[in-house]
Amino acid sequence: MDINVNIALISLLAFAALSNIPLGYLRMGSPKYSVRWFVYIHLSVPFIIGLRIANHLSWQTIPFSIALAVAGQMVGSRLYRRKHL
């Protein structure tokens, strides 16, 4: 596979498919700084790292995948607020 396709695929997975949107949604329903809250924030990180290593992507893709994971968490939290407020 082309390197750009790998980067795009991992970026998409970091944002949505690895559950950052649902995890952000769940995070909003748990008490802040609790164990569940911490797990919901960090659960997708090992999967993103594994995908990056398995596809032989350089360390330069890390900031981009982290930014997309955070964006997925933010989208999930906004969906929670929209539904529950």
Q: Give the H or E element holding residue 29.
A: none
Per cent of the chain over pLDDT 70 is 93
Contacts of 21 (CB under 8 A, 6+ apart): 15, 72, 73, 75, 76, 79
Residue 5 pLDDT class (50, 70, 90 cuts): confident
* Number of domains composing the chain: 1
Summarised one tens digit per residue, pLDDT across range 25-55 is 999 999 999 999 999 999 988 888 888 888 8
Q: Residue 17 has what pLDDT? A: 57
The boundaries of the domain holding residue 47 are: 3-84
pLDDT at residue number 34: 97
What would the two tokens of residue 3 be? Answer: 């390197």
